Structures are given as structure tokens and as C-alpha cells.
A and B are shown apart, each in its own frame.
Chain A
Amino acid sequence: MAVKDRVPMKEQDPKERRKNFDEVALGYTEEEAILEASRCIQCPKPTCVAGCPVHVRIPEFIKAITKREFEEAYKIIKSTNSLPAVCGRVCPQEEQCEKNCVLNKIGKPIAIGRLERFVADYALQNNIEEEVKPEKKNKKVAIIGGGPAGLTCAGDLLKMGYYVTIFEALHALGGVLTYGIPEFRLPKRIVEAEIERLKKLGAKVETNVVVGRTVTIDQLMEEEGFEAVFVGTGAGLPKLMDIPGKNLNGVYSANEFLTRINLMKAYKFPEYDTPIVVGKRVAVIGGGNVAMDAARSALRLDGVEEVTVVYRRSKEEMPARAEEIEHAIEEGIKFEFLANPIRINGTEDGWVKSMDVIRMELGEPDSSGRRRPIEIPGSEFTIEVDTVIMALGTSPNNLIPSTTKDVEIQKWGGIIADETGKTSKPGVFAGGDAVTGAATVILAMGAGKQAAKAIDEYLRNKK
């Protein structure tokens, strides 16, 4: 194989996979991984590393793969990335590590994400554990929220010897990894295996605790002896489009739709008790990962014949991972670009019947650098749909700030924290989507790591 080309990864056939929730990408074999790894030219000054938010030592782990030292490769990755099996699958690599690979100049970059996934899966299959026996420090830290930020912060603090309790509002840990990202992209057994590891490290887990309602941060610190707190509560509050018909039966937020499917397993109804209803024609509004996940999940449900993604800009501006867009197209998802819904029309008994949409054109770039969509007057048209899913983004919930003394927030709801995670309240740290707004798994993880360091420092200096 030419150096220019990547070793392809096997995938389930699109015709087959659009009928099931099994993982789409099947992973490399050992031989495939070694072959792909051998394309890396081991740059002395590797530019790829700078593109990774947690600076995975990319050439080093790739070199270990070429030598068939998979366990060693795992240790190298784990030294900076606590959730490689997850990141290898869901990082927007084309924007990060792979974007910076020198091979882009002559052909395709090294498939860094796929190699990372291979190594992590190898470690899971062969039960490779890092050995840590830290000296116990007699101090308790509370982690609020069991998403990637919280899990990473908890893991690092456990390895430093702290007593850690994770408080999670839902009945399961994982945050978006559990309730948002579908099984066919990130199998839940991977997330569960990471959580089991944390428990083996000694994490105490209290699910069904909504901090701010069940107990407050002030109570945890003043009454329950937690000396520091990490807030990793994410950005879960869905935005809904303010158009007529938004509350008709058959209109879901992507969060509701995906939570029913992923967390509650509604795709296995009636074996599982949580129902979901979809009609023959489904429209998904939005262009990010969430929209792709909702569209591809909808396609896999019984009775659905057609799924259309309605996005107000063009394909080039779509923020979703390149791979997800490709997969969606292969599976037969339709796209209506440069179109924006203005009204959802209902039947007499309150169900979605159709959606009025207006054509857009792209104007000057806006603050995000993307060209701003502008309505074309008089270009309205109607699409027949039975189900509408809104995937327009999410923002942080104000439950914690509104019930904790002295935690300051931004106007849009994000918790104010410095780059180490320190908030305005002594002993309280925060990171991930709760601070940045909806972002990525790897950034949330990076924030959890930073905060663990800062918490350690804080507790060492505190008498």
C-alpha cells in the first residue's frame, strides 16, 4: 500500500447497519494497526501532538505499535489521556491531531484516532490495568457529575490517594457518553468498562443525587466533610427553536430523543418500558454531532422511512465530525441545506403534520468565522413530516450556581473558572461543558485533569 493511503477500517455495511444499533466502525486488527502505524515517519518535532488538547505522545505510542508492544503503547497514551477507547472513537480528529500531521502534505494523515482506539480496545480485551498503589491521603473530594470531566478528575485524584465520591443526578454515570452518544458510535460497554476501572481504584459512587436539590455543595463541604469539590455538570439544557408549533406532539429536543434511546433503551421497547414514537418521515434540525446522532438513531427505529437533516448553512459549515456526516450519507440520510424552519404545522388533535421552511443564502462571515445565513424572502416551502427533532445546542443549567454561595457565572450560564478550574468559591473547581458551554469529550477530560492537579495543590497548601 502506498504511504499516501491510510489502512481502511472495516465497517458494517450501510444497508445492514441502518437496521441495527451495533457499532458501525469495527476497529483494526493487529496487522492492520501495525501497517497503519508504520506509515508514521516519526517526526523529530511532531506537529500532531500540538493538535491534541491533552498532548497524547503520539509518535511514541505509534512506534510501540509497530514493535507490537501494545501494552507499552497503552501506557504511553494513558499517561495523558484517561479515556482513550472513547476519544479514539469520538474525537473530531480531523480538527485536532490528524489535522496537524505532516503527511497531510503528501496524502492522508496517520489515522491517529483509529490507532488510539485499537490500543485501548486491546487493553480492555486483555485486562491490562495500570498499577497504582498511592499513599492514602486522608481527605475527601466530591465530584459533581459523572461525565468525562468528572470521571477524569475522579480518576486522577484517586491515583493521588484522595477519597473520592462521585455524585450523579441520573441513575447511571457517563454523562453524554451514556445518555447522548448512541450505541452504534460508542458502545456502552466501553463506557461501563471505564467506570468499573474507577470503582476498582476506589471511587465511591452515589447516583440519583441531584446536587442543588438532593444536597447542596455548601452542605457537602460544611456537613459532610468534603474539602474540595469539582463541578462537572455539563451543558444539558436544550435550546428549542421559538417557532409556532414547537410544542406539538411529535416534536422532541434531541436530548429527549437520544435519552429515551440511549439511557432508557427505548429502541428495545417493549422489552424496556420507556416508549418512543416516530412517524414515517422525520426531520432533524441542526448540523452538529447531536443532529447526526439523532438522525441516524431515528433511521434505525421501526417504521421510519425517511430522515431529513435541515441545516441553515451548507455542508462545508457543518460542525459535525467529518466521519459522522459521511456515515449519515452512506446510510441514506437526506440533507436539506440552506434551509431554516419557520413553523411546524399540526393536525387537529395536536400532532406534527408538516414543517414550513425558508431558503437561506450565505452572507458575510459572522463572529464564529462562518458565513452568516440570511433568509431569502418569498422562498418558503413545506415539507411533510411526522416527527421533528431539534438539535440546536444546549447550555449549562443554573441549578448549582443558584444554590451555592459565591459561585459566579457568565451571562449565558457558564460557571466562571480559570484555566486550572478554580472558581470564585474557595475549594470549588469546575470544568468541561459546565464552564465552556457544549464542547468536546477531550476538552472536558482535559479540564478534569487540570482541575485534579489544582485540587491536589489546593489541598496540600490548605491546613
Chain B
Amino acid sequence: MCDMYKIVRKEILNPVVKLMDIEAPRVAKSAKPGQFVIIRIYDKGERIPLTIADYDPEKGTVTIVFQEVGKSTKLLGTLNEGDYILDFVGPLGNFMEVPKEARKILGVGGGVGIPALYPKLKMLHQEGYRVEAILGGRSEEYVIFKKEMEAVCDKVYYATDDGTLGKKGFVTDVLKEVLENDKEIDYIITVGPVIMMKNVCKMTKEYNIPTIVSMNPLMVDGTGMCGACRIEVGGETKFVCMDGPIFDGHLVNFDLAMTRLNMFKKQEKVSLELYEQHHGGDHHGR
């Protein structure tokens, strides 16, 4: 209760995305690729889930990368090296297992899904798999973790909305070309906005390539106690914090997942507006 979690490094990756290394030795020691943490910034704060983007058991630190979308992530963005976060719990969720016989793995990532995809591809690369990736974003600036990804992938393709990096278009446009040309790819991992994961899965189903996704529903406790995080997979209700966050993408009901993400939209807007009235402007690029 009295222990707090220190921010030991902060980096600004682009105008809306920040990275932090947090001192949390127990989490760093047990973390595995695909798992996440739940943080609560201060005593009136909410519990929000963030993927573990990297971890260093020796230093006892865990890396998080977050996009500022609402009150909690904007508030987090105003904290600096040396500041503390009140609660930081994890690692939560299952970790990822890839079939031994997979020949070539393709990662497809968008937005803050890219750093979430990174530890998975890094581990697969270290285990000797052949790994490639398609990364996408609004423009070059918004495609983060390029260097890290290039270090663990045999090849990285890019897609941006404005064509400033790689192909102009969506990751699925590149995906189509890659799948047409490279018949060795037999396992796909995709992490990003739900709509992107939905479209990727639609395409990979046509090619009959097993695809796993990392779901990001609303959460409260993250320990299986509340059911806020439920989604439907193959017609069955699953709790993402316990049964996931990784699922067979061809079985996920993405439309339901998108609807459920909107459950508190009105309140989230109120919360953000109040926050911005009091902290006008100081959330930009700090």
C-alpha cells in the first residue's frame, strides 16, 4: 500500500505516444511476452491496462508505451522521470505460445499495437523463428518502435495513411501483397486497433493462415473478478484478463468488442473535458 512505482525513464515517441520505464521488480521478474499490467496513477484514479512493451528482470524495470487518448493516459503523460505511480500490478493475462512447427511468422501492428507486438516478435526471433512484420500508422512519425522491430525481424514492411513511409494505405493493403508473394508465411500475430485486427483476420481467413490477436477491452480488476473485459470467442463468453488477451483471431466477435469499448464514452468525455479545463494545454508534447 505504501510502495510506489518509480518512473526511471521517459521518452516522447511522437506527439501522442510516450514511453516509460517503471521500477517494478516483481513484475519485471515474471513478465512474459503478451502480458500486460494495470496501473492506477493516483488515489482517485481509475485502473487502466497497458501492455508490457519490454522488461528487464536484472534492472527490475518494465517498459510501457501509451497513447494519450483520455484523462488517465494524458495525466500519465504529464509525469516525469523521478515521479511515482501509485499502483502497478502484473504481469496479467496469459502469455503467448506459437506452434513449434511454424515456418515463418508475420507480425502485423498498428499504432500502440506495435510496441505490444514487439516483445512477442523479439522472443520468437530469439527462439530461432523467421520473423517478418508489417507496421502501420497515420504517417512516418506515428509508426513507432521501427529500430527495435528491424533488429528482431528479417524484414519489415510499412504502410502509412499519407505515404510518408512505405506504401500509402492500410496494413491490409501490404498484407495482401505479402501473402500473395510469400507462401511460406504460416502464422500471423496482429496487434492494433480492433478495426485493424478485424480486417487483418478477415483477410488471413481467406488465405487460411492461423492468426492470433491481442484484445484490449475495458477492464477494472484484471484478475477475473468483474467480467468487464468479456468478449465472445467462437460463440463463448471469455474474460480477456484471464483467458487472454491473446485469442484465435478467426473466432473473435470483433463487432461486439467494438461496441463494448464504447460503453463509457460519454463519461470519458466529461472526465477529459474537466481535466483539460484545469490543465489546459499542458498535456501537449511534454
Chain A contacts to B: CB under 8 angstroms: 169-173, 179, 205-210, 213-215, 236-238, 240, 246-247, 249-250, 252-253, 255-256, 259-260, 264-265, 269-277, 349-350, 397, 399
Contacts and interface: CB of A to CB of B under 8 A. Distances in A.
23 contacts: A170-B223, A171-B1, A171-B86, A173-B1, A213-B92, A214-B26, A214-B91, A236-B223, A247-B230, A247-B256, A249-B263, A256-B226, A256-B228, A259-B225, A259-B226, A264-B46, A264-B47, A270-B267, A271-B44, A277-B264, A277-B266, A397-B225, A399-B224
A399 to B, nearest CB: 7
B72 interface: yes
Contact of A237 (B92, B224, B267, B270): B224
B227 A256 contact: yes
A246 B260 CA distance: 12
Contact of B267 (A207, A210, A269, A271): A269
B30 A238 contact: no
Interface of B: 1, 3, 26-27, 29-30, 40, 44-47, 71-72, 86-92, 220-228, 230-232, 237, 242, 256, 259-260, 262-264, 266-268, 270-271, 274
Nearest to B37: A208
Contact of A259 (B3, B45, B220, B267): B220
Nearest to A239: B227
B44 A273 contact: yes
Given A240-B227, A249-B259, A253-B227, A170 B221 contact: yes
Given A169-B89, A272-B44, A397-B225, 18 more contacts: A171-B86, A207-B1, A210-B90, A210-B222, A213-B30, A215-B26, A237-B225, A238-B225, A240-B227, A249-B263, A253-B226, A259-B221, A269-B271, A270-B270, A275-B46, A275-B271, A276-B267, A399-B242
Given A209-B89, A259-B221, A275 B268 contact: yes
Contacts of A276: 267
Given A171-B40, A350-B259, A207 B87 contact: yes
Closest 9 CB pairs of A and B: A275-B267, A350-B259, A256-B226, A208-B89, A236-B225, A273-B46, A253-B227, A274-B46, A171-B87
A172 B274 contact: no
Contact of A246 (B44, B86, B87, B237): B237
Given A273-B71, A275-B271, A277-B264, A171 B89 contact: yes
A256 B239 CA distance: 13
Given A208-B87, A214-B30, A273 B226 contact: no
Contacts of B227: 238, 240, 252-253, 255-256
**Which of B89, B237, B271 lies at the interface centre, i.e. has the most chain A CB atoms within 10 A of its CB?**
B89
A271 B44 CA distance: 7
Contact of A260 (B86, B220, B266): B220
A208 B62 CA distance: 15
Contacts of A272: 44, 46
Contact of A397 (B29, B88, B223): B223
Most buried by B among A172, A255, A276: A255
Nearest to A272: B44
A240 B268 CA distance: 26
A213 B90 contact: yes
A397 B222 CA distance: 12
Interface centre among A213, A238, A399 (most CB of B within 10 A): A213
Nearest to B273: A270
B238 to A, nearest CB: 10
B261 to A, nearest CB: 10
B227 to A, nearest CB: 4
B232 A172 contact: no
A135 to B, nearest CB: 27
A264 B38 CA distance: 14
B262 A210 contact: no
A276 B218 CA distance: 12
Contacts of A179: 225
A276 B212 CA distance: 31
B226 A213 contact: no
A270 B264 CA distance: 12
A339 B186 CA distance: 51
Contacts of B46: 264, 272-275
